[in-house]
Amino acid sequence: MGIERIKEHIRVVHDFPQKGIVFRDLTTVFKDQKCLKDLSSLMTDEYKNLGITKVVGIESRGFIMGPIMATNLDAGFVTLRKPGKLPAETYKESYQKEYGLDTIEIHKDALCEDDIVLIHDDLLATGGTMFAAYELVKRFNVKKIYINFIVELEALEGRKLFPADIQVDALIKY
């Protein structure tokens, strides 16, 4: 079990969502109960003693492991959503993705200065989405921010967007 089994279950889809993109599909990992259980443990073990109070998940694939990680860490879960999906007042951040411009939002009351936050998404590519999430979370002046992914595509160098004092972790690197 473990990381190698998880890697074996990642489906590679060429030319999705557009020509030239190699998509790492994690749905094949999530549907396997042993992989999901291993992933659940592996993704949270490093953070168990860091005092995480909130896990922030990015729409939509960050909504899969984010709540699982929050439960494992005895933390709350906060959603970052696409525009118009959150019902109360929000902060917004726009960013450039590999194939277009996008925006994410967070409720203005989602976090507080006492929070220690783990921001999670499934995959780090160019880093635009996570950097926008990081910028949103910074607005709350939280105590500490950690960043976490299941997969990192190292050749796209998304990690370089983040300050050196921010811990950025990826379970699997390609």
| Active-site annotation holder among 5, 46, 59, 98 | 98
Please give the Cα distance from 134 to 131 (Å, whole number): 5
61 is catalytic: yes
According to DSSP, the residues that pair with 116 across neighbouring strands are: 144
- Which one, of 49, 43, 47, 11, lies nearest residue 121 by Cα? 43
81 tagged catalytic: no
Catalytic pick from 24, 61, 81, 93?
61
- Assess whether the previous peptide bond of 87 is cis (omega < 30° from 0): no
What b/e readout covers 21-42, taking b as 16+ CB neighbours within 10 angstroms?
eeebbbeebbeeeebbebbeeb
- The residues annotated with a catalytic role in the active site are 61, 98
